[in-house]
Amino acid sequence: MSKVVSAGVILIGDELLSGRTQDTNLGTIAKWLEPLGVRVMEARIIADNADTISATVKDFSARFDYVFTTGGIGPTHDDITADCIAAAFGMGISEREDALAQLRERYDESELNAARRRMARIPDGASLIKNPVSQAPGFQTHNVFTLAGVPQIMRGMLTDISYRIKGGVTLKSITVTVEGIGEGDAAAPLAHIEKEHPGVSIGSYPFFNDELRGVNFVARAEDEAVLEAVKAALEDLAAKLGG
């Protein structure tokens, strides 16, 4: 088996925990990383609390090859992520001229008030991540990429990260659908098929509405030949269960 290149995602914001805002950033990041050969192994939603942010960043940085944080780098008083990243790595933080230069692409000097200038405060030694949407940059500190929480802005920032990622082998996947059954009908034979094919993970995902129910079997593996063998086994199982 090839080395798994791992990622952790930290979603920061009280609004996420309260349910007022529904997160979409995790799905975007995971799908973006997949063809790069990086697998998201853990994601966590945390509050706008300085100690929690710093501790979580330090923990994730030690356990994963790459870490992505979203949220808390705007102009308001509760945007504390930059300070927390600096604290996690024992770094200083200050207003950076290169970050201000990017902000000036959007704002006149008269508009760069104290609140907006907060977005130019970057941990010492961090490299900037360009923001083609609103110009306020994100930044990379060691293996941690700190991105905006607004989904459109976060997606734009990803375009300046691909070249910084050294991924592993990509996972391939196949899907086999069987109608008219529930997950429990397939649990035992699925476990057997997975056991017979090392290196393959198989998941079952039910769907149902007023007229139809069924299950999608999804298999993932590095080896395409092995995956084809699993597909044949799943199709045989689907024929038996669906019949």
pLDDT per position as a tens digit, 51-91: 999 999 999 999 999 999 999 999 998 899 999 999 999 99
Structure tokens at 17: 């925990």
Q: How far apart are CA 72 and CA 78, in angstroms?
A: 7
Q: Which residues contact 238 (CB under 8 A, 6 or more apart)?
A: 176, 177, 178, 217
Partners of 101 in the β-ladder: none
If one counts every other C-beta atom within 10 angstroms of the C-beta of residue 163, the result is: 7
Note the pLDDT of residue 1. Answer: 46
When pLDDT is averaged across residues 185-211 and rounded to a whole number, the result is: 91
Cα dihedral sign for 22, 26, 27, 32? positive
In the chain, pLDDT over 90 holds for what percent of residues?
84
Domains in the chain and their CATH numbers?
5-164 (3.40.980.10), 172-242 (3.30.70.260)
Question: What is the pLDDT confidence band of residue 243, given thresholds at 50, 70 and 90?
Answer: low
Q: How far apart are CA 228 and CA 188, in angstroms?
A: 21
Q: In this model, does residue 42 exceed pLDDT 80?
A: yes
When pLDDT is averaged across residues 127-146 and rounded to a whole number, the result is: 97
Which position has the token pair 């008030």? 113
Q: In this model, does residue 98 exceed pLDDT 60?
A: yes
DSSP conformational letter for 163 = G
Average pLDDT of the chain? 94
DSSP conformational letter for 168 = -
Note the pLDDT of residue 78. Answer: 87
DSSP conformational letter for 36 = G
CA angle 38, 24, 207 (to 5 degrees): 90
Please say whether the beta carbons of 47 and 71 come within 8 A.
Answer: no
If one counts every other C-beta atom within 10 angstroms of the C-beta of residue 99, the result is: 21
Q: Which residues contact 66 (CB under 8 A, 6 or more apart)?
A: 5, 6, 7, 8, 38, 143, 144, 145, 165
